[in-house]
Amino acid sequence: MIELMVVISIVAILMALAAPSFRDLINRNRISSTINNLSADYSYAKSEAVRLGGPVTMCVSTDGASCAAAATPSNWHAGWMIFQDDNNDQARQDTEKVLRYRPALKGADKLTADAAAISVNRNGFKPGAAVQLMLRTDPEDQQATRCMVINIGGQQKITKRGETQYGKTCAP
């Protein structure tokens, strides 16, 4: 009986030591999955702009039907959509086709950006300055922070906290 109590105590101590590391692993995997989905969606928007021969826009959207009213760059975690932007105004009209929609992120993770909408022209380029989207866990694990930076040529890079790409540093 004493041996069983010793084994149970040792197992309990080992579990208590492993739990924080396991939580960090889960957070980092969730962040990695989310930033990879965002990257895939941007790649999809680029390919659709080239295929359709016209502008395609990604914007903050809570319903998958319209860009969020008075959207601020700080609420991409509320969800986003990709649509064929025939008049290139970064606001979806009823006649413009929704190509993809991602609902709000689960949990309290935060996805922020320099812009509330990102457009891609028919050549696959992103007009204007480079844009950075930053994904952070809540509670914040600075090691898990990831950014996606898109330059005017439409190229994208995933960076870790503290790294600089296209003139943008991944830092909260």
10-25, pLDDT tens digit by residue?
877 776 766 666 777 8
Confidence of residue 108 (pLDDT cuts 50, 70, 90): confident
Who's near 35: CB < 8 A, 6+ residues apart? 135, 146, 148, 158
Q: How many CA atoms lie within 13 A of 158 on its CB side?
A: 16
Asked whether 85 and 96 are in contact (CB, 8 A), the reply is yes
Among 125, 15, 111, smallest CA distance to 61 is for 111
- Give the distance between the most distant pair of CA atoms in the chain: 77
83's enclosing H/E stretch is strand 79-84
Please check the confidence at residue 142 and state whether its pLDDT lies above 90: no
Q: Quick one: DSSP state of residue 105?
A: P
Residue 4 tokens, joined: 């069983």
Confidence of residue 107 (pLDDT cuts 50, 70, 90): confident
Q: Which residues in 67-78 are b (16+ Cβ under 10 Å) and which e? A: bbeebeeebbbb
Who's near 34: CB < 8 A, 6+ residues apart? 105, 109, 111, 135
What is the pLDDT, as a whole number, of residue 171? 83
Please check the confidence at residue 165 and state whether its pLDDT lies above 70: yes
- Scanning the chain, the segments in alpha helix (DSSP H) are 2-52
Quote the CA–CA distance of 70 and 46 in Å, as a whole number: 25
